[in-house]
A and B are shown apart, each in its own frame.
Chain A
Amino acid sequence: MSEVTLFGLGASALVGIGLYGFIIQPEPLRRLLAFNLLGSGVFLLFGVIARRGAAAGMGGDPIPQALVITGIIVAFAGSALAVALLLRLHQADRGGAAPGGDAPPAGGGDGDRT
């Protein structure tokens, strides 16, 4: 088994581990961690495919490698939004910081919570 196949199997295992953690974990921050593991596993799989495509004097197929770079950044943006939501929810839950009265309520307010 070549090194590349080894990493391919490792990437498959990472996807499984990340997916398990995402579904099982009750806390959102742990879910986010598991999501990042899942994502890195997917990217690694792409990297294995890139390595297998080494040709024309390059160490790997540049298309998948470039796409992984894009993917890492997009995944980070998702994590940042999730963290901001989580921290804000935490604040709101502790009774702090209801939206200040200076802005008119967003249309069609949801009314009584009966």
Chain B
Amino acid sequence: MTLAWAFDAILAATVLAVAAWTIVARETFAAVVGFVAYGLLLALVWVRLAAPDVALTEAAIGGGVTGVLLLGAAARLRGTAGVLVDERPGAAMRLVVGVLCGIVTAALAATVLLLPDPAPTLAPEAAANLTTTGVGNPITGVLMAFRALDTLLEKVVLVLALIGVWSLAPDRFWGGAPGPERRAQPDDALVFLARLLPPVGIVIGVYLLWVGADEPGGAFQGGALLAAMWLLAMMAGLATAPAVSERRLRLVLVAGPAVFLAIGLAGFALADAFLAYPEAYAKPLIIIIEVVKMLAVAATLGLLVMGPPERPPQR
């Protein structure tokens, strides 16, 4: 019973408690605040699991950007009659579902306890092949080289989700900008924060990207931070949301997956396979992809939070 074990036990218990509270809390807004706290605690768990890259991603996207998204939704829906609300299930139904979920948990717990020892792992293979990719961070190696197709598809998923969100706008707002018009109040605390934080955030975001090749970090984490800074500036009224039909915006969004795709196709000629990198140029190519990806991810994440256009186009 070491100190570390005790710490982990308390952490796990707290995480479960906050999660349970999120489910049973009466008021939705309170539940969402609990969820944000949960996300930050979870980042701590990821650190304890020796996964700093994931901890960064969980804090930035899982807790941070998702939290902003859900808080915004909860605030707008506050005090209104719910839509698509089914009947509240009776006690008998809740018992049945509870038992079912208990069975699922038990099955999973049993599987965890019965996992093979020694655990099958791909770490040695990844380590052996990492040098040919030119990067030092094995996770970047997996995302950008070994399983690059996953990352490419995921970027297409982001763009498609954004198209889906935009398609929800009423016809008359198409081409306009998302979010209500905000004008900056000079003495507002939010404005103060929005002037102070973004420069710092941008520097840290770029640093995360740069260092992600060899240390924990990377384009997703940096992009999420940039998105958060942009959202802050927009909420304070210091930046205007771009119009949906703006050509430059569309190019930035599409550039992320497009550059990746182009370099991947070049792999046919230069390195014998789709999404393969010629060994000498692997690292510079990956850096290029990651830089463009970071900007595209920042724009896409920010716009996903902003939602569909709500203002008629300026014409």
Contacts and interface: CB of A to CB of B under 8 A. Distances in A.
Q: Do A and B bind each other?
A: yes
Contacts of B299: none
Nearest to B159: A77
Interface string B218-256: 101000000000000000000000000000000000000
B171 to A, nearest CB: 4
Contacts of A54: 50, 121, 123
A47 B49 contact: yes
A7 B8 contact: yes
Interface residues of B, number: 97
Contacts of B277: none
B194 interface: no
B265 interface: no
Interface in B119-145: 119-124, 126-128, 138-139, 141-143
A101 B170 CA distance: 10
Contacts of B301: 76
Interface string A24-66: 1111111011101100100111011111111111111111011
Contact of B54 (A63, A69, A76, A89): A69
Interface in B65-103: 65-66, 69-70, 72-74, 76-77, 80, 82-89, 93-94, 97-98, 101-102
Contact of A61 (B58, B122, B150): B122
Nearest to A28: B84
B31 interface: yes
A44 B43 CA distance: 10
B223 to A, nearest CB: 10
Q: Give me the 8 closest cross-chain CB pairs, A-B, nearest first.
A: A53-B121, A59-B50, A16-B105, A100-B172, A12-B108, A8-B112, A66-B142, A62-B138
Interface of A: 3-21, 23-30, 32-34, 36-37, 40, 43-45, 47-63, 65-70, 72-81, 83-90, 93, 97-103
